Structure 1
Amino acid sequence: MARSRLRKYLLLNEENPLYGYVYLLPYLVLFVIFIALPILESMQISLYDWSLIGPPPRYIGLDNYKYIFTEPTELFLHSLKNTARYAIGAVPLFVFGSLFLAIAVDAVRRWKGFFQISFVMPMVINVSAISIIWIWIFDPIAGLLNYYLGRIGLPPQNFLGHAETAMQAIIAVSFWWGVGFPFLVYLSGLQDIPQTYYEAARIDGANAWHCFKDITLPLLRPTLLFISVMQIIGAFQVFGQVYILTGGGPYDSTRVVVQHMYLTGFQYFEMGLAASMAWVLFCILIVFTLIQFRLFRFSERLEY
């Protein structure tokens, strides 16, 4: 009887401060086991000379962090630069390209559902399948893209085989595959903006640009911040399409930091070095996220 009353008090009394935690408990347990503890374990591993095929782990302090920045090949720094190149090209394309697509689809009256499905459908396909499809499209001999280039009199291009075009090709594939998520988020935000704001602005003589600048962008600021943060994190974690499309080539021109971590940990079995790279990447993402929050708060203060 006492146990039944206790259970009823914990689960049904919303005034109990533990009420919410009872329902969060299963998630919190899984979070601690599969996320929090592995994160702490990776911090410990990064402080050891830890090789899966070598001698027992040996504590070396911060030597792994020093080594990845001073190694003779500079592969880690090179992969960071390539990742930054990818982010500089991909993040603005995702943030603003998907916004303009959402605005265009929101403005049409017919076929809106068709366009929504068209942009979202690639998102549900596995990155491996997407990459294989685009390898065929980019093929310099039998590829669909080079076929149409030949039809208009242009020579065939080896898009994935040249350092000058490989990263741009990866960015294009990533956008085609992943535009659906930010597109849907923006579209949802646009549909929450009352149409009366636009009607009042048009009555006052505002054109489409003024409506976008003075109504759409300010009201979408939280959505814009969310998409920006998510896309920067995703850009620095890019791996699957790079690994399948180019394997990091040609000549390591598309070797990104997560691929370098993967090769270090699972091809060369240097788990300590791989863990230290992961923590450096984590710190970089934290810094970028904090900078974005500061910039958006600063822009809000300027506006008001």
Structure 2
Amino acid sequence: MNTAQKDLPLQSTIRPKEARASMRVMKWKETVIGYLFLAPSIVLFCIFLFYPMLKSVYLSFQLTDPRGKVAAFAGLDNYKELFTDSHFLTSLKASFLFTLYTVPTAIVIALIMAALTHNKLKGVKLFQFVFSLPLAISVSTASVIWNLLYHPSIGSFNYWLSLIGLPPVNWLTDPAIAIFAVSAMTIWMNLGFNYIVLLSGIQGIPEELYESAKIDGSNPLRTFWNITIPLLSPTLFFVAIVSVIGALQSFGQIHILTKGGPSRTTDVFVYHIYQEAFVNFRFGTGSAQALVLFAIILIITLIQFKVLEKKVHYQ
């Protein structure tokens, strides 16, 4: 046996070890490169998300001066004061009513519009474009437009009411109507996003299913209820989750249209936090309210996943 044949077993034992070491080095390099690419996003998240969140947790246990500096340790006093404050409970009720009025209505209307414009008819692209327009309008711009529409003397809504002989309505100053007026504006503003998402979901349903249902003699309403709705349930579930979170975080339209009035009927949770922190300069209480809002949104989202996801039909 020559020396080359004697070295074969040694080479066969060395090469796998060298290969594993080389693979570890390669994986380590790939990991480092991956973190380098993620570094800018991680830095931004730390600055604008994680640090403010930790700062809010810290401030929620403190008393602060008007400049936001810590004056004294409050412990749980901010939270105790929060749940005994009647204004906080009023804002909590306003937020839930606002969510109840806006979320289901916006989803149902967007679903109907998506179903009506799903068919490939002549001119349907124009309707799709018009129905999607609210998505391109900012909250501030939409609020200014609707503020003019709601104006008691020069607003279009009261003008239309006068044409049919009805008296003018104080849309934004009547405590019984203001929450509905702001909700109507919010529904219109959310229609664009809901419509685009639901229309995309409907377009993802195979046409063969509709053709088979048509051959079986199913009418359009029955087809929509038995085929479209079950197959669209994942999209509806997503839209419901996002809409509830967005409704509980609404602020811009409230600030521009009513500023929480009249009689605090539109003083939703986020606007109450704004008033407490940046108007009354009670940053400790405002931080406690923000954390309570985070907990409420988290609990509602978990309940939605626990209850609604059971009815979601995944293909």
TM-score of the superposed pair, with normalisation by structure 2:
0.86
2:59/2:70 contact within 8 Å kept: no
The amino acid across from 2:75 in the alignment is G
1:49/1:57 contact within 8 Å kept: yes
Instruction: Select 1:216's aligned residue among 223, 228, 232.
Output: 228
The amino acid across from 1:245 in the alignment is L
Structure 2 counterparts to residues 73-222 of structure 1, below 5 A: 74-107=86-119, 109-222=121-234
Count of residue pairs the alignment pairs up: 292
Evaluate the alpha carbon distance shift between residue 191 and residue 55 of structure 1 in structure 2; reply closer, same or farther with a 3 A threshold.
closer
Instruction: Select 1:68's aligned residue among 79, 82, 89.
Output: 82
2:234/2:312 contact within 8 Å kept: no
1:5 paired residue number: none
The SS at the match of 1:250 is: coil
CA distance in 1, matches of 2:236, 2:312: 13
Instruction: Select 2:38's aligned residue among 15, 20, 24.
Output: 24
1:246 aligns with 2:255: no
Deviation at 1:186, TM superposition (A): 0.7
Evaluate the alpha carbon distance shift between residue 13 and residue 119 of structure 1 in structure 2; reply closer, same or farther with a 3 A threshold.
farther
The SS at the match of 1:220 is: helix
Bigger mean CA offset, 12-21 vs 110-119: 12-21
Structure 2 counterparts to residues 244-283 of structure 1, below 5 A: 244-283=256-295
2:59/2:287 contact within 8 Å kept: yes
Unaligned 5+ runs, structure 2: 1-22
Deviation at 1:298, TM superposition (A): 2.5
Evaluate the alpha carbon distance shift between residue 215 and residue 19 of structure 1 in structure 2; reply closer, same or farther with a 3 A threshold.
farther
The amino acid across from 1:34 in the alignment is F
1:3 paired residue number: none
CA distance in 2, matches of 1:208, 1:19: 54
CA distance in 1, matches of 2:242, 2:68: 38
Evaluate the alpha carbon distance shift between residue 101 and residue 15 of structure 1 in structure 2; reply closer, same or farther with a 3 A threshold.
farther
The amino acid across from 1:85 in the alignment is L
- Structure 1 residues 111-150: Cα deviation after superposition (integer angstroms, max 9, x where no partner): 2222222122232222222212212111122211111111
Instruction: Select 2:57's aligned residue among 43, 51, 56.
Output: 43
Evaluate the alpha carbon distance shift between residue 18 and residue 124 of structure 1 in structure 2; reply closer, same or farther with a 3 A threshold.
same
2:142/2:189 contact within 8 Å kept: yes
CA distance in 1, matches of 2:115, 2:63: 52
Bigger mean CA offset, 155-164 vs 13-22: 13-22
Identity level (%): 39
Deviation at 1:166, TM superposition (A): 0.7
The amino acid across from 1:39 in the alignment is M
The SS at the match of 1:107 is: coil
2:311 paired residue number: 299
In terms of Rg, which structure is larger?
2
1:13/1:19 contact within 8 Å kept: no
Evaluate the alpha carbon distance shift between residue 190 and residue 300 of structure 1 in structure 2; reply closer, same or farther with a 3 A threshold.
closer
1:95/1:227 contact within 8 Å kept: yes
RMSD between aligned residues? 2.4
TM-score of the superposed pair, with normalisation by structure 1:
0.89
1:229/1:289 contact within 8 Å kept: yes
- Structure 1 residues 90-116: Cα deviation after superposition (integer angstroms, max 9, x where no partner): 010122221111111113612222222
CA distance in 2, matches of 1:201, 1:265: 57
Deviation at 1:297, TM superposition (A): 3.2
CA distance in 2, matches of 1:169, 1:289: 26
Deviation at 1:300, TM superposition (A): 4.8
1:59 paired residue number: 73
